[in-house]
A and B are shown apart, each in its own frame.
Chain A
Amino acid sequence: MKSDGNQGEFQRRLVMYLDGALSNEESREFLTDIKNSPEQLAKLQKEKSFREFLRKKVSRRSVSPALLNSIKSKINTSQ
């Protein structure tokens, strides 16, 4: 079905746009193509929020100073 095809194409471009896999020109074209579709703009915002949510919520850890010192010490010992 044509509408399914269009929806699939939108979905493909949406994911590539958010993953930074479109060129600047392709990104501009994508945003121009969806600017008059509230439904597609809402989907873009929702998917964008999901990515931001992951980055924000996934716990980031710092290495212990002991590990850093251990690596530096082994490198220096080999010299």
Chain B
Amino acid sequence: MEKDNEYKKEEIQEKEEAPTATPEQLAVFNDELLPQIDALYNFAFHLCYNEDDANDLVQETYLKAFRFIDKYIQGTNAKAWLFKILKNAFINQYRKKSKRPKQVDYEEIATYHDSEDASYVDFFDLREEIFQGMMGDEVTNAINALPIDFRTVILLCDIEGFTYEEISKIIDIPIGTVRSRLHRARNMLKERLSEYAKSMGYKDKRGKK
């Protein structure tokens, strides 16, 4: 069985004292963990909406990763391990500010999961000029407008390329919930982008069923 890093939340709780790392651990930190910094920053930025908070979150993530470098198994999934730490740091930040992220109605999720096949949202033809002309910021804004739980799975799967299993471990939810959230999130995103396209004068040629 493939070795896996510790993903349990309690393993990455506060531990204030910084250890003295061995030269090997320092090398692992520099060679395997630091190269993930751009991906982490992008994820943090989409979670927080602003650069200062994203910088703080990334810095906190790396300092925490360094304190727990002995928990990291060299050569395993450094990116998923760091994303897990960042996600927990993000949640803790919210708790400290007594401002919880917008929560998902899980009853609603269950309903959507049951009707997953029927609720597929088709999308406009992406070859159309209006979509090709869409700026990155417009698409980014559409993603940022999604509720946090839906935004997170879109970022992890469609932008960062994590597998269902990795996402399940990073955000502590069952794989079935990962799939249903992704399904709902993609539908919501398609609807938002379609609304935006219409506001820019795009005519829906698909016709209504």
Q: Which residue of A lies closest to B155 (CB)?
A: A58
CB-contact partner of B66 in A8, A53, A54, A78, under 8 A? A78
Residues of A within 8 A of B18 (CB): 78
Interface status of B139 (Cβ within 8 A of chain A): yes
Residues of A within 8 A of B159 (CB): 54-55, 58
Quick one: which of B118-142 are within 8 Å of A by CB?
Answer: 118, 120, 122-123, 125-127, 131, 134-140
A15 to B120, CA, bound (A): 10
Interface status of B24 (Cβ within 8 A of chain A): no
A5 to B8, CA, bound (A): 38
Instruction: Say how far B65's CB is from chain A's closest CB, in angstroms.
Output: 10
Query: How many residues of chain A have a CB within 8 Å of chain B?
Result: 36
Q: A36-77 interface mask toward B, CB cutoff 8 Å, 1 = contact, 0 = none?
A: 000000010011011101110111111110011011101100
CB-contact partner of A71 in B63, B139, B179, under 8 A? B63
Whether A46 and B118, one on each chain, are in contact in the complex, defined by CB atoms closer than 8 angstroms, is no
Chain B CB within 10 Å, residue with most, of A4, A15, A62, A75: A75
Q: Which residue of B lies closest to A68 (CB)?
A: B37
Residues of A within 8 A of B136 (CB): 57-59
Which residues of A come within 8 Å of B, CB atoms? 4, 7-9, 11-12, 15, 19-21, 43, 46-47, 49-51, 53-55, 57-64, 67-68, 70-72, 74-75, 78-79
- Cross-chain pairs A/B with CB under 8 angstroms, 28 sampled: A4-B118, A8-B116, A11-B116, A11-B117, A12-B116, A19-B182, A20-B163, A46-B125, A50-B126, A51-B158, A53-B139, A54-B159, A55-B158, A57-B135, A58-B143, A59-B139, A59-B140, A60-B42, A61-B38, A67-B41, A67-B55, A68-B34, A70-B59, A71-B59, A71-B62, A75-B66, A78-B20, A79-B21
